[in-house]
Amino acid sequence: MNEPRVLRALCPGSFDPVTNGHLDVFTRAAAQFDEVVVAVFINTAKASLFTVEERMELLRETTAHIPNLRVASFHGLVVDFCRANDVHVIVKGLRAVSDFDYELQMAQANYKLAEVETFFVSTSPTYGYLSSSLVKEIARHGGDISGWVPPIVESAIRERVHA
Ligand code: PNS
């Protein structure tokens, strides 16, 4: 008899660093799929506040309570990671209409390249405006970011930006 197919979803991103908005998407994806892989895209062309290893560690610590989630990293095309890891579905959060054009383009390209489907989760309104960039910007200027990122991420950002 054939082994039952594991429904594995991928949440790819920069996660520089992970926010409560990302965690909302991971939690909801983990409730729908057998396994969720959260993968940090290694992008040497983009400046980041945290190294890939640091971002992965923050992800591991903040998702430790989700048993069917694991953290990975990848470079190159996301569809190649999907092929290598038997992933057929990408899960992304949609915060607002402004996310849609770019996300639709990527979803269509990924389907064309490898028939990888993209499912969108409507981000909780609480986190609709939230992004890693905004959190970093506010922290750099000494603003309050508690409530937008988990406490260990807040400490890591504060240490890095010395605010
Ligand atoms: O958190 P981000 O920076 O918005 O994530 C963007 C990411 C990493 C999901 C996207 O850039 C991506 O999938 N990059 C991998 C390279 C690739 O496959 N590009 C073509 C996508 S159609």
Q: Indicate which residue's Cα is closest to atom 6 of ligand 1.
A: 13
Q: Which atom of ligand 1 is nearest to the CA of 74?
A: 15
Tell me, using a 6 A CB cutoff, whether residue 21 lines ligand 1: no
Residue 122 has what pLDDT?
94
CA distance 56 to 140: 22
Picking from 18, 35, 16, the residue whose alpha carbon sits closest to that of residue 127 is: 18
DSSP 128: T
Answer yes or no: is pLDDT of 163 > 70: no
User: Is 22 part of the annotated catalytic residue set?
Assistant: yes
Phi-psi region of 147 (alpha: psi -120 to 50; beta: other; left: phi over 0): left
CATH class in words for 8-128: alpha beta
CA distance 163 to 157: 9
Q: Where do the structural domains in the chain lie, given as residue ranges? A: 8-128
User: Is 112 part of the annotated catalytic residue set?
Assistant: no
Tell me, using a 6 A CB cutoff, whether residue 106 lines ligand 1: yes
Answer yes or no: is pLDDT of 139 > 90: yes
Tell me, using a 6 A CB cutoff, whether residue 104 lines ligand 1: no
State percent of the chain over pLDDT 70: 99
CB 12 within 8 A of CB 26: no
111's tokens:
């389907």
**pLDDT tens, 46-92?**
999 999 999 999 999 999 999 999 999 999 999 999 999 999 999 99
